[in-house]
Amino acid sequence: MQQLEVKNITVHYGTAQAVSDVTIGMDEGTVVSIIGANGAGKSTLMKAISGLIPITKGEIWFQGTRIDKMQTHAIVKSGLVQVPEGRSLFPFMSVLSNLRLGAYLRKDKDGINKDLDKMYEKFPILLKRRNQPAGTLSGGEQQMLAIARGLMAKPKLLLLDEPSLGLSPKLIAEIAEVIRDINRSGISVLLVEQNAGLVRKVAEKGYVLEVGKIVLEGKLEELMTDKLVQRAFLG
């Protein structure tokens, strides 16, 4: 049984079809990337998996449970957590308050405090900035905070939507190491990313999305030589 199974889903925005008959799957403990040019439907697919937008048809299963009829908070509680494109932090709240919001469904206060310490160990800059408003952080620091907030929810599968957006090559390399570290800790990662270098460093399997449809899938190293994939990364 795969950890995540997306079966023939279609998603509409009003009358416009954004995703059409998409099927993807991933095993526990893996890093899988959704590849596609801007407007291909990647973020729509991620939002549908997370329960943020409804699907028109098809099914989504996570760890043997169908989740496409579940509310978003229940999906998060089951262990599927998304770090959205653009980070979606609360800019006027402190770094610490943003981190605590990641754990809002949890009741284990001691566990939350231990995980806060882990986040500060993993991302030392967040300890230094913990009392600052999140909006005063640099782009790289905000991305680290967004990922740390997602980890505070204790995910089994973490969905990352464009984590390198707006970051320098040095910071992108740091994000790659963060993703590898997350995966080494036993958390699966589903990654939407436009930066080919980052995808190459972390993913083992990929799906190519073009105009809302999966047109190619396979091992990442093989996909990277395909013209469709090259076109996706070049836009």
**pLDDT tens-digit series, residues 114-160:** 999 999 999 999 999 999 999 999 988 999 999 999 999 999 999 99
Asked if the structure places residue 159 within a domain, the reply is no
Determine which of 90-94, 162-166, 205-209, 223-227 has the lowest per-residue pLDDT on average.
223-227
Asked if the structure places residue 42 within a domain, the reply is yes
Number of domains in the chain: 1
Determine which of 32-36, 82-86, 206-210, 214-218 has the lowest per-residue pLDDT on average.
82-86
Asked if the structure places residue 228 within a domain, the reply is yes
Asked if the structure places residue 213 within a domain, the reply is yes
- What's the domain range around 26? 1-78+190-235
**CATH code where residue 232 lies:** 3.40.50.300
Please provide the average confidence, as pLDDT, over all residues in the chain.
92
Range 43-47, long-range pairs (CB < 8 A, 24+ positions): 43/85, 43/161, 43/162, 43/192, 44/11, 44/13, 44/18, 44/19, 44/212, 45/6, 45/9, 45/11, 45/19, 45/192, 45/209, 46/82, 46/84, 46/159, 46/161, 46/190, 46/192, 47/82
Asked if the structure places residue 211 within a domain, the reply is yes
Asked if the structure places residue 54 within a domain, the reply is yes
